[in-house]
Amino acid sequence: MSEKFDVIVIGAGPAGYVAAIRCAQLGFNTACVDKWEDKDGKPSLGGTCLNVGCIPSKALLDSSEKVEQAEHEFEAHGISVGNVNVDVPKMIARKNDIVGNLTKGIAGLFKANKVTAIHGHGKLLKGKQVEVTSKEGTATYSADNIILACGSEPINIPVAPVDNNLIVDNAGALDIDDVPKRLGVIGAGVIGLELGSVWNRLGSEVTILEAMDAFLAPVDKQLSREAERTFVKGQGLDIKLGALVTGSKTAKKSVKVTYTFKGEEHTETFDKLIVAVGRKANTKDIAAEDVGLVIDERGRIDVDNQLRTNIAGVYAIGDAVKGPMLAHKGSEEGVAVAEIIAGQQPHVNHDTVPWVIYTHPEIAWVGINEEQAKEQGLNYKTGFFPFAANGRSLAMNEKGGRVKMIADADTDRVLGVHILGPNASELISEAVLAMEYSASTEDIARTIHAHPTLSEALHEAALSVDGRALHKVN
């Protein structure tokens, strides 16, 4: 007889571990199967996000931002620090400590919530059984409900095969222990810009080769144009749009990349090359063939709006299913599925999932942008406010960026908020909350914002929708 649980979750990333904790809170006897191992071969919970994603990348972004400030920004405050020395191995060790603390923290949360952690590769079998394979062998468990949260993995391109030595993926890019003089990045998406920024701040000459002609296509054009100017002119990132990589050749210590740009063949030699061209659902061997689990045309587990797969009692969440590949989206789906299993009626509002790109300045948005409002033929109005007119921003010596708000012209309901500026990642929460409550720009305009704060830029952008911003000419 196989051990029986009420719920088995496969995958302990931010989607799976949160689902497991919520299931346990709701009184279900829950197990969570995960196969991630750290460099010493020990189980490490938290998935991509904690091990090689959100957290380690932000740790390095923060460290490198401090270097940037010491080298270029302190002076404006009247502070001189002389030569700034960077100990990259120490920086990486700090990042690893944070990862270690947080992944152990999940193990602690599992223990406290009585979630059984099972290490190994989980595979869905017929009859709601899960086969787990590890170094110890194979065991089979069963459950009334199963949640698949197997996440995603980097996309590889044959023209630049990752060896995690000279050509690295996002995981390898977080473990470079010496500043490469010349760093190439393929893909000017979220990872390319965040990790490109890290190494640029630490002294690499960074060239980013992006296949598309548009820069940051999902971002509102007014903001993406200003961001591009800042990254290229202000920070020295060499971003080549419309660059098609045709091949790469590694030597002992360098990699030669050939690409087509503006109709001509180019060759550049880098000391490291980061491949960041997107991620794909990681559904390899997640279910036995005879289970008949339906995978959609993009390789993701097919789910309905209640995150149910085609197999009764089997759900899927996070990066493995449709929607943006973001940790908080997966976590929210994890909570929702646990509550659905408990017979509750939760709702994940996919229209209010915030996005953040942790460059400097940060870029954050929620809802639709102006181009989408146009495409959808909406009757809309916009307002904006520049951080250059915000007292707190100037006190911080932050002069660029803006808040842009898009609202329905008839009802005044907020349709989208876009922020390029300091602490955009924190500021966006107000906009998410406003949209979650179906607020109008008038609601935001009539809400008292503390002075002096960056949030006043949101207040002013809301006022500006109605042509009555107070600290700029409308």
Q: What angle do CA 434, 420, 188 make, to 5 degrees?
A: 120
Nearest-10 Cα torsion for 362, 366, 367, 368: 0
Nearer to ligand FAD, 124 or 403 (CB): 124
Q: How far is the CB of 354 from ligand FAD (least distance, A)?
A: 9
Q: Coil, helix or strand for 141?
A: strand
Minimum gap (Å) between residue 245 Cβ and ligand NAD: 5
Query: Site residues for ligand FAD, window 163-182 (CB under 6 A)?
Result: 170
For residue 256, state whether it binds ligand FAD (rule: CB under 6 A). Answer: no
- Among residues 397, 399, 402, the alpha carbon closest in space to that of 383 is found at 402
- Cβ 355 to ligand NAD, closest distance in Å? 6
Contact status: 432 vs ligand FAD (CB under 6 A): no
Provide the CA 235 distance to its chain's centre, in angstroms: 22
Nearest-angstrom CA–CA distance, 414 and 405: 7
User: Which positions lie near ligand NAD, rule CB under 6 A?
Assistant: 157, 186-192, 194, 209-212, 245, 276-279, 324-326, 356-358
CB-hemisphere CA count at 13 Å for 398? 21
Q: Which does 341 bind (CB under 5 to 8 A by kind): ligand NAD, ligand FAD, none?
A: none
Nearer to ligand FAD, 191 or 457 (CB): 191
β-strand pairing of 3-10 with 30-34: parallel
The answer to whether 451 is a known catalytic residue is yes
How much of the chain is in helix, strand and coil states, percent to nearest 5?
A: 35, 25, 40
Q: Is 54 in the site for ligand FAD (CB under 6 A)?
A: yes
Q: Are 9 and 316 in contact (CB under 8 A)?
A: no
**Could you say whether residue 30 binds ligand FAD (CB under 6 A)?**
no
22 near ligand FAD (CB under 6 A): no
Q: What residue type is assigned to position 263 of the chain?
A: G
Q: Which does 463 bind (CB under 5 to 8 A by kind): ligand FAD, ligand NAD, none?
A: none
Binding mask 55-84 for ligand FAD (x = CB under 6 A): --x---------------------------
User: How far apart are the C-alpha atoms of 14 and 319, rounded to whole Å?
Assistant: 10
Task: Catalogue the active-site residues.
Answer: 451
Interacting residue ranges for ligand FAD, rule: CB under 6 A? 10-16, 33-36, 47-49, 53-54, 57, 121-122, 149-152, 170, 191, 282, 286, 318-320, 325-328, 330
